[in-house]
């Protein structure tokens, strides 16, 4: 029997990535207030969180939020994965913009600076047998270069599409923004919101699970497409 993976996320991007990698996860909405979690941690530390600290904190919070949950009346029996993404540019760390004016400001900054880093956090909890055991975190990053000739009209049309409002960094690499991103350095899947190589390494190095043990999707039905992070 394949090892089951429970995804503590409602992100269609992470779901698509896992399906493309041969894994059909069971989905659980974590219901974490991300802004509140970050604010609480920063108040505790007395300083702003770094990008890596932010995505790692939120990935762990999401995974831990579903400990002990049931899916279709059954206890969790497998691994819980929580994930989070944030975009860093000029030393500032950004999550989802939500508001069109905020997204516009970020895109104008990206057009001016031309380069930024997308951080992706992961937290994996061993929940085999219906109860939590060890958990481990890891982060990945990818550096992006944006087109140096972006116009205000292009930015306005992109913001009006609604696509950038609920994704980290206010962009996706496989949606409408693909024409505005000229280079990616690092793991491509990390930009989408989940580093498949990092997940594989977490499973193998900390839990002794080989990657093919998670393959449970019908190979003929796999999709190579992914959604924005």
Q: What angle do the packed helices 34-45 and 51-65 form, to 10 degrees?
A: 120
- Convert the pLDDT of each residue in 160-218 to its tens digit: 999 999 988 899 887 899 999 999 999 888 988 899 999 999 999 999 999 999 999 76
19 sits in which H/E element: helix 12-20
CB atoms near residue 35 (< 10 Å): 10
pLDDT at 42: 96
Q: How far apart are CA 218 and CA 196, in angstroms?
A: 18
pLDDT at 225: 35
DSSP 79: E
Q: How far apart are CA 220 and CA 165, in angstroms?
A: 33
- Convert the pLDDT of each residue in 115-132 to its tens digit: 999 999 999 999 999 999
Total residues found in the chain within this entry: 229
For residue 9, pLDDT beyond 50: yes
**Is 63 within 8 Å of 84 (Cβ atoms)?**
no
- Convert the pLDDT of each residue in 136-150 to its tens digit: 999 999 999 999 999
What domains does the chain contain, in order, with CATH numbers? 5-220 (3.90.950.10)
Provide the whole-model pTM.
0.89
Report, as residue numbers or ranges, the catalytic residues: 84
């Amino acid at each position: 029997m394949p090892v089951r993976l429970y995804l503590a996320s409602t992100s269609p991007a992470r779901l698509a990535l896992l399906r493309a990698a041969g894994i059909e996860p069971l989905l659980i909405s974590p219901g974490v207030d991300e802004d509140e979690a970050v604010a609480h941690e920063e108040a505790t530390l007395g300083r702003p969180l770094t990008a890596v600290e932010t995505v790692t904190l939120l990935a762990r919070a999401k995974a831990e939020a579903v400990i002990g949950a049931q899916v279709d009346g059954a206890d969790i029996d497998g691994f819980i994965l929580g994930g989070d993404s944030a975009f860093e540019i000029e030393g500032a760390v950004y999550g989802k913009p939500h508001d069109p004016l905020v997204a516009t400001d970020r895109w104008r900054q990206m057009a001016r600076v031309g380069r930024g880093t997308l951080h992706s956090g992961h937290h994996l909890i061993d929940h085999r047998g219906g109860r939590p055991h060890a958990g481990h975190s890891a982060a990945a990053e990818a550096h992006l270069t944006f087109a140096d000739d972006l116009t205000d009209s292009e930015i306005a049309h992109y913001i009006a599409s609604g696509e950038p409002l609920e994704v980290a960094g206010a962009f996706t690499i496989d949606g409408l923004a693909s024409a505005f991103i000229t280079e990616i350095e690092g793991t491509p899947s990390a930009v989408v919101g989940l580093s498949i190589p990092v997940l594989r390494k977490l499973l193998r190095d900390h839990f002794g699970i080989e990657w093919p043990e998670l393959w449970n999707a019908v190979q003929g039905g796999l999709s190579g497409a992914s959604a924005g992070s």
